[in-house]
Homo-oligomer: A and B are copies of this chain.
Amino acid sequence: MKKDQPQSDLLSAPDKKPATKKVRAADRIRETARALFYREGIRAVGVDEIVTQAGVTKPSLYRSFASKDELAAAYLRDYDGEFWQRFDRCVAMHPGNAKAQFLEYVRGLGVRASKDGYRGCGLTNAAVEYPAADHPARHVALESKIELRRRLRLMARDMGARDPDTLGDGLQLLLEGTYASGQLFGDDGPASVLAEIAERLIDASIGK
Protein backbone atom coordinates (compact mmCIF):
# COMPACT_ATOMS: atom_id res chain seq x y z
CA MET A 1 0.00 0.00 0.00
CA LYS A 2 2.75 2.43 0.86
CA LYS A 3 4.51 2.74 -2.41
CA ASP A 4 5.67 5.86 -4.14
CA GLN A 5 8.93 6.98 -2.75
CA PRO A 6 10.58 9.85 -4.58
CA GLN A 7 12.32 8.28 -7.53
CA SER A 8 14.78 11.15 -7.58
CA ASP A 9 17.60 8.67 -7.51
CA LEU A 10 17.42 8.01 -11.22
CA LEU A 11 20.74 9.71 -11.39
CA SER A 12 22.94 11.47 -8.92
CA ALA A 13 20.99 11.37 -5.72
CA PRO A 14 23.80 11.71 -3.27
CA ASP A 15 22.45 12.26 0.18
CA LYS A 16 19.00 10.84 0.56
CA LYS A 17 17.61 8.19 2.81
CA PRO A 18 15.25 5.66 1.26
CA ALA A 19 12.52 7.95 2.53
CA THR A 20 9.72 5.44 2.58
CA LYS A 21 7.60 7.96 4.42
CA LYS A 22 8.78 11.04 2.67
CA VAL A 23 5.43 11.85 1.19
CA ARG A 24 3.83 14.63 3.12
CA ALA A 25 0.82 13.62 5.18
CA ALA A 26 -1.23 16.37 3.56
CA ASP A 27 -0.62 14.88 0.13
CA ARG A 28 -1.49 11.38 1.19
CA ILE A 29 -4.70 12.75 2.69
CA ARG A 30 -5.55 14.63 -0.49
CA GLU A 31 -5.07 11.57 -2.64
CA THR A 32 -7.00 9.29 -0.36
CA ALA A 33 -9.81 11.78 0.06
CA ARG A 34 -10.02 12.19 -3.68
CA ALA A 35 -10.50 8.49 -4.24
CA LEU A 36 -12.96 7.96 -1.40
CA PHE A 37 -14.98 11.11 -1.94
CA TYR A 38 -15.42 10.40 -5.60
CA ARG A 39 -16.28 6.75 -5.23
CA GLU A 40 -18.57 6.87 -2.20
CA GLY A 41 -19.62 10.48 -1.95
CA ILE A 42 -18.45 13.12 0.48
CA ARG A 43 -21.06 12.75 3.19
CA ALA A 44 -20.66 8.99 3.16
CA VAL A 45 -16.97 9.14 4.04
CA GLY A 46 -15.85 9.95 7.56
CA VAL A 47 -12.58 11.60 8.41
CA ASP A 48 -11.53 8.53 10.36
CA GLU A 49 -11.81 6.41 7.27
CA ILE A 50 -9.72 8.87 5.33
CA VAL A 51 -6.87 9.11 7.80
CA THR A 52 -6.83 5.37 8.41
CA GLN A 53 -6.63 4.56 4.72
CA ALA A 54 -4.06 7.29 4.17
CA GLY A 55 -1.93 5.88 6.96
CA VAL A 56 -1.88 9.12 8.90
CA THR A 57 -3.68 10.50 11.91
CA LYS A 58 -6.50 12.90 12.43
CA PRO A 59 -4.51 15.83 13.76
CA SER A 60 -2.45 15.71 10.59
CA LEU A 61 -5.60 16.22 8.63
CA TYR A 62 -6.69 19.18 10.68
CA ARG A 63 -3.27 20.81 10.47
CA SER A 64 -3.60 21.00 6.71
CA PHE A 65 -7.33 21.52 6.40
CA ALA A 66 -9.51 23.68 8.58
CA SER A 67 -12.43 21.26 8.48
CA LYS A 68 -13.88 18.35 6.58
CA ASP A 69 -15.80 20.83 4.47
CA GLU A 70 -12.56 22.54 3.48
CA LEU A 71 -11.01 19.21 2.65
CA ALA A 72 -13.99 18.55 0.43
CA ALA A 73 -13.47 21.90 -1.24
CA ALA A 74 -9.80 21.08 -1.79
CA TYR A 75 -10.77 17.75 -3.32
CA LEU A 76 -13.08 19.54 -5.71
CA ARG A 77 -10.40 22.03 -6.68
CA ASP A 78 -8.16 19.11 -7.55
CA TYR A 79 -10.98 17.50 -9.46
CA ASP A 80 -11.66 20.73 -11.29
CA GLY A 81 -8.02 20.95 -12.29
CA GLU A 82 -8.05 17.45 -13.70
CA PHE A 83 -11.25 18.13 -15.56
CA TRP A 84 -9.84 21.14 -17.36
CA GLN A 85 -6.70 19.24 -18.11
CA ARG A 86 -8.75 16.58 -19.89
CA PHE A 87 -10.87 19.19 -21.58
CA ASP A 88 -8.04 21.40 -22.78
CA ARG A 89 -6.15 18.42 -24.08
CA CYS A 90 -9.09 17.76 -26.40
CA VAL A 91 -9.10 21.40 -27.41
CA ALA A 92 -5.41 21.31 -28.23
CA MET A 93 -5.92 18.29 -30.46
CA HIS A 94 -8.03 20.23 -32.96
CA PRO A 95 -6.77 23.79 -33.22
CA GLY A 96 -9.30 26.19 -34.68
CA ASN A 97 -12.00 23.54 -34.96
CA ALA A 98 -14.41 23.98 -32.07
CA LYS A 99 -16.79 21.27 -33.20
CA ALA A 100 -14.01 18.72 -33.42
CA GLN A 101 -12.73 19.85 -30.02
CA PHE A 102 -16.05 19.32 -28.37
CA LEU A 103 -16.70 16.01 -30.09
CA GLU A 104 -13.25 14.84 -29.03
CA TYR A 105 -14.12 15.45 -25.39
CA VAL A 106 -17.55 13.97 -25.83
CA ARG A 107 -16.26 10.77 -27.32
CA GLY A 108 -13.88 10.26 -24.43
CA LEU A 109 -16.61 10.99 -21.95
CA GLY A 110 -19.02 8.61 -23.64
CA VAL A 111 -16.52 5.84 -23.17
CA ARG A 112 -15.67 6.64 -19.57
CA ALA A 113 -19.31 7.10 -18.59
CA SER A 114 -20.24 3.71 -19.95
CA LYS A 115 -17.72 1.78 -17.92
CA ASP A 116 -19.13 0.50 -14.73
CA GLY A 117 -17.78 1.96 -11.58
CA TYR A 118 -18.32 5.33 -13.20
CA ARG A 119 -19.57 7.81 -10.66
CA GLY A 120 -20.34 10.88 -12.75
CA CYS A 121 -18.91 14.33 -12.20
CA GLY A 122 -17.46 14.91 -8.75
CA LEU A 123 -18.41 18.56 -8.91
CA THR A 124 -22.04 17.96 -9.83
CA ASN A 125 -22.30 15.20 -7.25
CA ALA A 126 -20.98 17.51 -4.56
CA ALA A 127 -23.58 20.13 -5.44
CA VAL A 128 -26.24 17.47 -5.07
CA GLU A 129 -24.88 16.45 -1.69
CA TYR A 130 -24.62 20.03 -0.45
CA PRO A 131 -27.57 22.13 -1.56
CA ALA A 132 -26.79 24.96 0.86
CA ALA A 133 -25.56 27.92 -1.17
CA ASP A 134 -22.84 28.89 1.29
CA HIS A 135 -21.15 25.52 1.54
CA PRO A 136 -17.50 25.65 0.43
CA ALA A 137 -17.83 22.50 -1.65
CA ARG A 138 -20.86 23.78 -3.52
CA HIS A 139 -19.09 27.05 -4.15
CA VAL A 140 -16.19 25.35 -5.91
CA ALA A 141 -18.57 23.21 -7.92
CA LEU A 142 -20.70 26.14 -9.02
CA GLU A 143 -17.73 28.25 -10.08
CA SER A 144 -16.47 25.41 -12.21
CA LYS A 145 -19.84 24.94 -13.87
CA ILE A 146 -20.14 28.64 -14.59
CA GLU A 147 -16.75 28.56 -16.29
CA LEU A 148 -17.77 25.50 -18.25
CA ARG A 149 -20.87 27.28 -19.42
CA ARG A 150 -18.80 30.23 -20.56
CA ARG A 151 -16.43 27.99 -22.47
CA LEU A 152 -19.18 26.00 -24.15
CA ARG A 153 -20.91 29.16 -25.32
CA LEU A 154 -17.65 30.39 -26.78
CA MET A 155 -17.16 27.10 -28.54
CA ALA A 156 -20.71 27.25 -29.89
CA ARG A 157 -19.92 30.65 -31.30
CA ASP A 158 -16.76 29.33 -32.91
CA MET A 159 -18.79 26.54 -34.43
CA GLY A 160 -20.84 29.17 -36.20
CA ALA A 161 -24.07 28.57 -34.33
CA ARG A 162 -27.03 30.75 -35.18
CA ASP A 163 -27.66 31.23 -31.46
CA PRO A 164 -24.40 30.39 -29.67
CA ASP A 165 -25.70 30.79 -26.13
CA THR A 166 -28.56 28.42 -26.75
CA LEU A 167 -26.37 25.79 -28.35
CA GLY A 168 -23.73 26.17 -25.66
CA ASP A 169 -26.33 25.65 -22.96
CA GLY A 170 -27.77 22.71 -24.86
CA LEU A 171 -24.37 21.07 -24.98
CA GLN A 172 -24.02 21.57 -21.25
CA LEU A 173 -27.36 19.85 -20.72
CA LEU A 174 -26.04 16.89 -22.68
CA LEU A 175 -22.86 16.75 -20.61
CA GLU A 176 -24.66 16.93 -17.28
CA GLY A 177 -27.16 14.40 -18.51
CA THR A 178 -24.33 12.05 -19.36
CA TYR A 179 -22.73 12.46 -15.93
CA ALA A 180 -26.01 11.53 -14.29
CA SER A 181 -27.06 8.75 -16.66
CA GLY A 182 -23.63 7.22 -16.70
CA GLN A 183 -23.70 6.51 -13.01
CA LEU A 184 -27.31 5.39 -12.98
CA PHE A 185 -27.20 2.87 -15.77
CA GLY A 186 -23.95 0.96 -15.97
CA ASP A 187 -22.84 0.35 -19.51
CA ASP A 188 -25.32 0.40 -22.38
CA GLY A 189 -27.05 3.37 -20.81
CA PRO A 190 -28.19 6.54 -22.57
CA ALA A 191 -24.67 7.89 -22.15
CA SER A 192 -23.53 5.76 -25.07
CA VAL A 193 -25.41 7.91 -27.58
CA LEU A 194 -23.88 11.16 -26.38
CA ALA A 195 -21.51 11.67 -29.30
CA GLU A 196 -24.13 10.91 -31.92
CA ILE A 197 -26.70 13.17 -30.29
CA ALA A 198 -24.25 16.00 -29.76
CA GLU A 199 -23.22 15.97 -33.38
CA ARG A 200 -26.84 15.90 -34.48
CA LEU A 201 -27.67 18.87 -32.27
CA ILE A 202 -24.67 20.85 -33.42
CA ASP A 203 -25.42 20.26 -37.09
CA ALA A 204 -28.98 21.37 -36.54
CA SER A 205 -27.78 24.57 -34.89
CA ILE A 206 -25.19 25.91 -37.29
CA GLY A 207 -25.15 27.43 -40.74
CA LYS A 208 -28.28 28.21 -42.69
Determine whether A75 belongs to the interface, using a CB cutoff of 8 Å to chain B: no
Residues of B within 8 A of A129 (CB): 41, 43-44, 128-129
Residues of B within 8 A of A125 (CB): 128
Cross-chain contact A173 with B194 (CB below 8 angstroms):
yes
Residues of B within 8 A of A204 (CB): 200-201, 203-204
Copies of this protein, total = 2
Instruction: A119 to B39: give the CA distance in the assembly, Å.
Output: 22
Interface range, A side: 35 or more
Residues of B within 8 A of A145 (CB): 181, 184-185
Instruction: A31 to B201: give the CA distance in the assembly, Å.
Output: 41
Determine whether A40 belongs to the interface, using a CB cutoff of 8 Å to chain B: yes
A173's partner among B128, B169, B178 (CB-CB below 8 A) is B178
Given A169-B190, A197-B170, A40 and B131 touching (CB < 8 A)? Answer: yes
Closest to A120 in B: B128
Residues of A149-208 at the interface with B, using a CB-CB cut-off of 8 Å, are 149, 165-167, 169-170, 172-181, 183-185, 189-194, 196-197, 200-201, 203-205
Instruction: A146 to B190: give the CA distance in the assembly, Å.
Output: 10
Determine whether A57 belongs to the interface, using a CB cutoff of 8 Å to chain B: no
Given A169-B197, A193-B173, A43 and B43 touching (CB < 8 A)? Answer: yes
9 A-B pairs in the complex with CB atoms less than 8 angstroms apart: A39-B131, A120-B128, A145-B184, A145-B185, A166-B197, A167-B197, A172-B190, A176-B190, A179-B180
Interface residues of A (CB under 8 A from B): 39-41, 43-44, 119-120, 124-125, 127-131, 141-142, 145-146, 149, 165-167, 169-170, 172-181, 183-185, 189-194, 196-197, 200-201, 203-205
